[in-house]
Structure 1
Amino acid sequence: MKTDFNKMTKAELRAYVVAHPNDQAAFYAFVDRFTAGATTETFAMPQSPAEIAEVDNLVRQKIEQIQTE
């Protein structure tokens, strides 16, 4: 019986990929699912120490936000 990755939630699919690291079909389904909702927006590289610090701060804020969800 073939596993239907489309019926899995993102969390279930991620857990399946972790449990079955050699299943290429599962990996591709995982990547397709997670990149489908990704934004195509890009940003310029930080050019100064102040911009680097600002990006670092924004990344840390996002990590904290994700951890509290």
Structure 2
Amino acid sequence: MSQTDYDAMSDAELKQYFLKHRGDKAAFQAYLDRINQRPRRIIASPDDPDFDEKVQTAIRQKLEAAKSGRSQQPPHDALEPTD
């Protein structure tokens, strides 16, 4: 059996691969390792007086980006990826 090269796959390809091959624990781990290496964007701290507004704005931006098919930020941030 040949070894699958997860590094050669894009994020989307790797995600699709492990969704189709749910028993492939190495593929799932490769995907988790990849997304955990990304920097996280902090939206607001819990004591921020504008916490609710900032979170709601980030959610709206994420939804608008998904509707238009583009991403305004890396997929791994404080609001977990939607892909």
TM normalised by structure 1 equals 0.73
- CA drift at 1:30: 0.4
1:38 matched to which residue of 2? 39
1:10 matched to which residue of 2? 11
- CA drift at 1:17: 0.9
Instruction: Determine if the alignment matches structure 1 residue 52 to structure 2 residue 77.
Output: no
- CA drift at 1:47: 6.3
Shift in alpha-carbon separation, 1:26–1:37, aligned structure 2, 3 A? same
Describe the SS at the equivalent of 2:39: coil
Residues of 2 paired with 1:43 and 1:53: CA distance? 9
Q: Which of these two proteins has the greater Rg computed from alpha carbons?
A: 1
2:64 matched to which residue of 1? 64
TM normalised by structure 2 equals 0.63
- CA drift at 1:40: 6.4
- CA drift at 1:42: 6.8
Superposed CA RMSD in Å reads 2.4
Residues of 1 paired with 2:47 and 2:16: CA distance? 35
Count of equivalent residues: 68
Residues of 2 paired with 1:62 and 1:52: CA distance? 15
Instruction: Give the structure with the larger helix fraction.
Output: 1
Query: Unaligned regions of 5+ residues in structure 2, if any?
Result: 71-83
